[in-house]
Amino acid sequence: MADYSIWVLEYARAPDVPAFILVNGREGRACLPYSLTVLQSAEHTVLVDTGYLDVGRAHELAVADGITQWTDPVEVLASIGIAPADVDQILLTHLHYDHVGGITSFPRAVAWVQARELSEWLWALGLPPKMYFLQDGTAMDHLQSLQRLAPQGRLRLVEGRQPEVLPGITLEADPETHTFGHQHVVVRGSDGRAWVLPGDLLFAYDNLGGLDGAGPYLPNGFGTGSRREIVARMDAIMLAVEGRVDRILPGHEEQLFAHHSSWVRPDGLRVAEVNLRPGDVSRRPTGAPEVPRARTRAADGTLGSLT
């Protein structure tokens, strides 16, 4: 077991997307942040997903997704004092461009991904154009960059649940959900409580029934797998955190930054300092504008910040 400091860092934003992308069936428009997560213990600096580099096929996909603001994830990480060579492990929830497209930026990191996720995307990209729905969201050059890590000893292809890949960190497989071989990350500290990095199994707290978890589960509106499996895996995540929605950290959730200690970077993108392990210090720069904290109605009817 180990304790981890946790930061969620926004590196891009699509300010005006159809709301059904976040919550299936929802009408209207919404803002969609794109974020990556850092887990740092005394021994390890772990990146959950990498963001993407705004070039080539990734740029084309980002334009199609409505992204109008982007900062290199390496620059965003530098804002909390982390250099590319500091990152020794990368946990890839899935292989959409915005989660794996920055893999080449980290020269010594070992990448962990479900074997099924890689093999099925290679299969899908070999399909004829009329099957594009099964190819959407990824790029062959990203998969090739990932494969090139293997002869360097820096690729770990796993099958199913992987407990304790690092002290306190478990990979939970979510096959045939958002993607073919999606996985999410569970982090348990010395207090035994869990934090969950769900990848894109869910986009928003409203997928889980809202911030108090009182509503029905509603899948997001984009993916290649089974809605039944998505709902089942969301329920497993809620059990892992004992119903504490605030301990789930979706990278596309606008409200996350209002419910954890957060600030605004000079480029207008946000950093949430979710948890500091004992002995660690805040990375908030002096004078950085604070994201206003939200107050929400809890299940018992009381008002208060989630954290």
| pLDDT at 295 > cutoff 80 | no
Confidence of residue 306 (pLDDT cuts 50, 70, 90): very low
Q: Which two tokens stand for residue 143?
A: 């998969």
Q: Report whether pLDDT(299) > 60.
A: no
Tell me phi and psi for residue 20, to 5 degrees: -70, -15
Range of the domain at 45: 5-304
Residue 286 Cα to chain centre, angstroms = 27
pLDDT of residue 200: 98
Average pLDDT, the chain: 94
Encode pLDDT of 101-129 as tens digits: 999 999 999 999 999 999 999 999 999 99
Q: Which position has the higher pLDDT, 162 or 303?
A: 162
pLDDT in tens, 254-266: 999 999 999 999 9
pTM of the predicted model as reported, rounded to 2 decimal places: 0.94
Predicted local distance difference test score (pLDDT) of residue 72:
98
Give the number of domains in the chain: 1
Tokens of 211: 């911030």
Distance between alpha carbon 247 and the CA centroid of its chain, in Å?
13
pLDDT at 214: 87
What per-residue confidence (pLDDT) applies to 2? 85
Average pLDDT on 52-65 reads 97
| pLDDT above 60 (res 300) | no
Rg (CA), the chain: 18
- Displacement of CA 119 from its chain's centroid (Å): 21
> Which band of pLDDT confidence, cut at 50, 70 and 90, is reported for residue 1?
low
Average pLDDT rounded to a whole number, residues 289-296:
84
pLDDT score recorded for residue 207: 96
pLDDT exceeds 50 at position 218: yes
Amino acid at 66: G
Percent of the chain at pLDDT > 70 equals: 95
CATH number at residue 172: 3.60.15.10
Which pLDDT score is estimated for 294? 81
pLDDT reported for residue 296: 57
pLDDT in the model for residue 119: 98
Report which of 302, 252, 65, 94 is spatially closest to residue 185, judged by C-alpha positions. 94
